[in-house]
Amino acid sequence: MQNVTFPTDSHPDATALLPDSKEGYKRYTITDNGISPLLFPPSDEVIKWNSHEHLESGLRTDQADTMVAMQDKRDRKPIEAACAKYERFAIYGKGKRRIFAYGSTALEIREAMKHLIDDYQLVVPIYLEPLPIEELLPYCDEPAIVVEHNSKPRFAQFLKEKLGLQSRADILRYDGRAWDPIELAKRIMEVDHA
Amino acid sequence: MRNLDTGKANTWCPACGNFGILNAVKMAFNQLFDSGLNPATLAITCGIGCHGKIFDYLNVSGIYGLHGRAVATASGIKLANPELQVLSFGGDGDSLGEGLEHTLFAAKRNLDITLILHNNGNYGLTTGQFSPLSPLGFRGLSSPQGSVEEPFQAIPLLLISGASFVARAYSANPKQLASIIRQGVEHKGFSFIEVLQPCVSYNNTYSYYNQHVKELESRPADIMEAIRIANDAETIWTGVYYQTEKPTYHESAPGLANPAMQRPDQPARLEMLRSLNLI
């Protein structure tokens, strides 16, 4: 048994941890799914990690064909598929009027939503890269309010570029302070009842 | 017995001091294996520089890391896996420039690793710029009119920072170097070995060293005497300057969970927090 433990609910196919030392082991074995099996010392097999481009054995190389083969191997890793197992966005509420935000701003809006008269729905992307575009597009059919702690609507711009989302208002706050829930609720209501 | 060669084509300059270091390292490893060190527990780290190429010439597990981070990765390996014997190779630019803080903190904590410093007095791999150990007036590509900086004194610096085994050797005397490496690895605590390494391309000190290097006749009595002798203007003394036994970092921290070895599950973590009256 290897002398290292991973959380029991990890995905074994993604970690590719070898159960035991195997003869002829190479740290950067080229595989179909791009994942080279992991082994940790102590080990009779030599394990060479290399921050520079490398051969399968872990020795450093600058050979063009190896660089291409190794880059192709890394590109084959099923990153998108592995990320799909995680919650990559969150939805709060069922209203037709939508608000978009990220990070701690979402918590401020969830507080504010307790003081709103109308029905709102808060959409919170959690993974910005890779952005779960297919799952988010259904929420982008109407213009939304975008709330962010930036001096310019950068997050709104990001959503526009990635999802085609139109803003019906950008609520910006950039004085280094969090929103009071009632103040934020008032600002949101001003947008739709001005 | 482990075959220590990788068969990779060597790209050091002919007569580079690194060949002497490589030979000494292989001698030392074989001596250590003969006295019972299990090759499976040996790990090395390297930074970036001419010194770093030694990683490709040694059939030993390890990490060929980023510039200056040889000691950082070695520290991490030792903390996560204390049963490994960890040896770090660094350069004067790598470990006393970019990686200065890693080196000094490893010494301060008396981490049980060994640092072999390939001191060639310049940044060789990038064609000869002055480094933290280059002498005042060194002429290189970045200091064509002569460097205006005084060098660090490596041995005094590491002594004051808390290293518990400090030695100096010369790449042209691989037998002595092999013995010192063996002693450094066997020593429990942070071992610092400064190796004088002539650079035939940018800082050819063979002739100077051959005239001025001498082996210490006796060990200095204490740290202050060691510092004085290390700074001798006439003679460059080689040998073990200082050795002492004091608690190592990973042994001094009982009760702290080692996150690489033990991953307490949530009920156990909550119980730990309760026992500390934090919840």
| Domain residue spans of chain B | 18-252
Provide the pLDDT for residue A106. Answer: 97
Provide the pLDDT for residue A165. Answer: 98
Buried-state track B47-77, b at ≥16 Cβ within 10 A, e below 16: bbbbbbbbbbbbbbbbbbbbbbbbbbbbbbb
Query: Scanning the structure block, which residue is given the tokens 């009760």?
Result: B255
The H or E element containing residue A36 is none
Report the distance separating Cα B245 and Cα B165, nearest Å: 9
3-state secondary structure chain B: CCCCCCCCCCCCCCCCHHHHHHHHHHHHHHHHHHCCCCHHHEEEEECCCCHHHHHHHCCCEEEECCCCCHHHHHHHHHHHCCCCEEEEEEEHHHHHHHCHHHHHHHHHCCCCEEEEEEECCCECCCCCECCCCCCCCCCECCECCCCCCCCCCHHHHHHHHCCCEEEEEECCCHHHHHHHHHHHHHCCCCEEEEEECCECCCECCHHHHHHHEEECCCCCCCHHHHHHHHCCCCCEEEEEEEECCCCCHHHHCCCCCCCCCCCCCHHHHHHHHHHCCCC
pLDDT > 70? residue B167: yes
Q: Which residues of A touch B84 (CB under 8 A)?
A: 41-42
Give the class (CATH, top level) of B18-252. Answer: alpha beta
Mutating which of A50, A62, A66 best tests the B interface, going by the most B Cβ atoms within 10 A? A50
Contact A79, A127 (CB under 8 A): no
The three-state secondary structure class of A108 is helix
DSSP one-letter code for A35 = P
Report the distance separating Cα B6 and Cα B9, nearest Å: 9
Closest-CA distance of chain A to residue B274, Å: 22
To the nearest 10 degrees (0 to 180), the angle between helices B70-80 and B100-108 is: 40
Give the bridge partners for A100, in sequence order.
A123, A146
pLDDT > 60? residue B218: yes
pLDDT in tens, B111-164: 999 999 999 999 999 999 999 999 999 999 999 999 999 999 999 999 999 999
Give the bridge partners for B46, in sequence order.
B64, B89
**A41 interfacial to chain B (CB closer than 8 Å):** yes
Q: Would the pTM of this model clear 0.80, i.e. be above it?
A: yes
Q: Identify which of B8, B59, B61 has the shortest CB distance to residue A41.
A: B61
Ramachandran class of B199: left when φ > 0, alpha when ψ lies in -120 to 50, beta otherwise: beta
Contact B54, B60 (CB under 8 A): no
pLDDT > 80? residue B1: no
Q: Average per-residue pLDDT in chain B? A: 94
Report the distance separating Cα A48 and Cα B80, nearest Å: 17
**A104 interfacial to chain B (CB closer than 8 Å):** no
Contact A43 B56 (CB under 8 A): no
pLDDT in tens, B138-153: 999 999 999 999 999 9
Of B87-101, B180-194, B254-268, the poorest mean pLDDT is in B254-268
Query: Scanning the structure block, which residue is given the tokens 């069922």?
Result: A94
User: What ipTM is given for this predicted complex?
Assistant: 0.89
Closest-CA distance of chain A to residue B189, Å: 20
Of B146-150, B206-210, B271-275, the poorest mean pLDDT is in B271-275
Provide the pLDDT for residue A15. Answer: 66
Q: At B185, is the pLDDT very low, low, confident or very high (cuts 50, 70, 90)?
A: very high
Closest-CA distance of chain B to residue A106, Å: 27
Residue B189, token pair as written in the block: 């605590």
Q: What percent of chain B has pLDDT over 90?
A: 86
**A59 interfacial to chain B (CB closer than 8 Å):** yes
To the nearest 10 degrees (0 to 180), the angle between helices A181-193 and A105-112 is: 80
CA-CA-CA-CA dihedral for B187, B188, B192, B195, to nearest 10: 30
Report the distance separating Cα B174 and Cα B24, nearest Å: 5
Provide the pLDDT for residue A18. Answer: 83
Q: Which of B158, B175, B26, B11 is nearest to B87 (CA)?
A: B26
Q: Which of B2, B89, B73 is nearest to B37 (CA)?
A: B2
**A90 interfacial to chain B (CB closer than 8 Å):** no
Q: Which of B156, B121, B153, B118 is nearest to B139 (CA)?
A: B121
Cα–Cα distances in angstroms (integers) from residue B111 to residues A95, B194, B278, in the given order:
58, 17, 30
Report the distance separating Cα A86 and Cα A66, nearest Å: 33
Give the bridge partners for B115, in sequence order.
B88, B192
The parts of chain A modelled with pLDDT lower than 50 are: 12
Q: Identify which of A4, A41, A49 has the shortest CB distance to residue B64.
A: A49
Give contacts of B 1-20 with A, CB under 8 A: 6, 8
**A189 contact partners, CB below 8 Å, separation of at least 6:** A116, A117, A118
